[in-house]
């Protein structure tokens, strides 16, 4: 019993083809392959664009959160800058200063606003392989600059609060129990003369020197934060 592995009618048809028939059939096959690849590329492109839109949307929200944090940190730093400026101008005598101004700053020696800006979405983006799919390279460069600036501002801010905490801890370690109790009582009781509170703090060399020398350092930090703020605002506008 014989088996036919090929359709003989098809073979006979092929045998009767001329050269034009061969090229026509080959062209049909090639066009089909090209269309398949093009369709696959289109689907892949659309899929990548959806991923890009999703991750850039997450980055946008992350930058908004970072901008809010930056606004808050700047307000705290500016408050401390005003305090140090006040101290420098009235280093040896606080008695003539308004009591409400001195009370306003009484909590500042213990304030610590070390901060880590959010970078999770941007980190995901950097490791996602989507960077080549961002068409706007100017925007891409600004985005990287924005996060670099945030990192730079973060380092400045955290270094400042690290130094401030060290100076405060050194000062607190020199206080007697009686002095510490007196200090906390003055800090908590707004009816007590706040000038005495500041005299006690500035009587210590560690805190005195820190508050005097930190003025220029704080001014630099505030300027850097303002640059970061501007870059954040510009970058967020590019998302529109």
Specify the pLDDT at position 136.
Answer: 86
Planar angle of CA 128, 129, 134, nearest 5 degrees: 105
State the Cα–Cα distance between residues 129 and 147, nearest whole angstrom.
18
Percent of the chain's residues with pLDDT above 90: 34
State the Cα–Cα distance between residues 44 and 74, nearest whole angstrom.
44
Which string of b and e fits 40-59 if b means at least 16 CB within 10 Å?
A: eeeeeeeeeeeebeebbeeb
Q: Which tens digits make up the pLDDT trace of 174-220? A: 777 766 666 666 555 555 567 777 777 788 888 888 888 888 899 99
Specify the pLDDT at position 63.
Answer: 96
Q: Which tens digits make up the pLDDT trace of 8-34? A: 555 555 556 556 665 666 666 676 666
Specify the pLDDT at position 154.
Answer: 95
Under the banding of pLDDT at 50, 70 and 90, the label for residue 1 is very low
Under the banding of pLDDT at 50, 70 and 90, the label for residue 108 is confident
Q: How many residues does the chain have?
A: 240
Under the banding of pLDDT at 50, 70 and 90, the label for residue 173 is confident
DSSP one-letter code for 211 = H
Supply the mean pLDDT for the chain: 80
Quick one: how far is CA 215 from the chain centroid? 25
pTM of the entire predicted model: 0.74
Q: Mean pLDDT over residues 42-55, rounded?
A: 71
pLDDT of residue 149 exceeding 70: yes
The most confident of 60-64, 165-169, 181-185, 206-210, by mean pLDDT: 60-64
């Amino acid at each position: 019993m014989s088996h036919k592995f090929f359709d003989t009618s098809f073979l006979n048809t092929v045998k009767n083809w001329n050269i034009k028939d061969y090229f026509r059939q080959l062209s049909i096959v090639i066009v089909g392959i090209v269309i398949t690849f093009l369709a696959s590329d289109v689907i892949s492109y659309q899929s990548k664009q959806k991923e890009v839109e999703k991750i850039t949307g997450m980055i946008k929200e992350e930058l908004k959160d970072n901008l809010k944090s930056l606004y808050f940190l700047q307000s705290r730093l500016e408050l401390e800058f005003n305090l140090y400026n006040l101290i420098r101008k009235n280093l040896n005598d606080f008695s003539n200063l308004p009591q409400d101004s001195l009370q306003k700053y009484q909590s500042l020696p213990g304030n610590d606003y070390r901060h880590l800006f959010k970078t999770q979405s941007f980190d995901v983006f950097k490791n996602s392989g989507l960077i080549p799919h961002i068409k706007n390279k100017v925007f891409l460069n600004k985005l990287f600059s924005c996060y670099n600036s945030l990192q730079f501002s973060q380092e400045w801010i955290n270094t400042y609060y690290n130094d401030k905490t060290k100076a405060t801890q050194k000062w607190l370690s020199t206080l007697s129990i009686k002095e510490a109790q007196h200090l906390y009582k003055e800090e908590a009781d707004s009816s007590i003369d706040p000038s005495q509170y500041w005299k006690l703090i500035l009587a210590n060399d560690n805190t005195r020197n820190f508050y005097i020398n930190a003025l220029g350092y704080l001014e630099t930090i505030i300027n850097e934060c303002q640059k970061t703020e501007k870059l954040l605002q510009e970058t967020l506008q590019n998302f529109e």
